[in-house]
């Protein structure tokens, strides 16, 4: 099984790559290193089943090549980190929405299954706990850049589900909550700062 991981040099992506390689799979990583790091993959680089491409999902030609080579796509590439999102709302929206659009478009051409990493942020201010996938979302005002991330990830979900409905692209969406662990960095205003 060949897995493509966009954002594979990131905190979560590098752990996914490690797990897939441990199962005997082949892994292709596409990461522009905006928030990911080569250091996250250093311990895996000697594995001949790992291919690293340090470029953006916006590179359509390269994206098409790596999607074609894969059996499944894990789309984890996104603008992340509270500080980056608040300071760069245009980049956040463009990276998340356009990046996801290009990934599902490329996957749909070859009907490659796609996992879309979303976020608990799409629930917004909803206080009804526990959350359910079909719960209403309550986002704050568009004048608050904090909501650009939640809105962009919700749009990613709408787009992925539309590709399923119209083009029968197999998609799975996972809404990740505050994830923490080894290789996470606090540089971008993440949940925890490592000591």
Catalytic positions are 149
Cis, bond preceding 130 (omega within 30 deg of 0): yes
Q: How far is CA 51 from CA 30, 33, 47, 97, in A?
A: 9, 15, 9, 25
The distance between the two most distant Cα atoms of the chain, rounded to a whole number of Å, is 48
Q: Measured between alpha carbons, how far is 57 from 50 in angstroms, rounded to an integer? A: 18
Q: Measured between alpha carbons, how far is 63 from 57 in angstroms, rounded to an integer? A: 6
Whether 63 and 103 have beta carbons less than 8 Å apart is answered as: yes
């Amino acid at each position: 099984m060949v897995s493509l991981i966009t954002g594979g040099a990131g905190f979560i992506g590098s752990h996914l790559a490690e797990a897939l390689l441990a199962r005997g799979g082949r892994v292709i990583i596409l990461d522009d290193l905006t928030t990911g790091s080569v250091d996250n993959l250093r311990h895996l680089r000697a594995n001949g089943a790992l291919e690293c491409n340090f470029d953006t999902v916006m590179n359509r030609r390269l994206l098409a090549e790596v999607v074609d080579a894969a059996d499944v796509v894990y789309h984890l590439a996104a603008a992340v980190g509270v500080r980056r999102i608040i300071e760069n709302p245009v980049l956040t929206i463009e990276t998340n929405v356009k990046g996801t659009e290009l990934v599902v478009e490329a996957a749909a051409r070859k009907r490659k299954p796609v996992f879309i990493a979303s976020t608990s942020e799409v629930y917004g201010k909803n206080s009804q706990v526990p959350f359910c996938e079909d719960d209403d979302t309550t986002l704050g005002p568009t004048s608050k850049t904090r909501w650009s991330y939640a809105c962009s990830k919700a749009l990613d979900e709408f787009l992925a589900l539309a590709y399923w409905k119209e083009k029968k692209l197999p998609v799975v969406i996972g809404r990740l909550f505050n994830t923490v662990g080894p290789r996470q960095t606090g540089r971008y205003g993440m949940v925890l700062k490592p000591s």
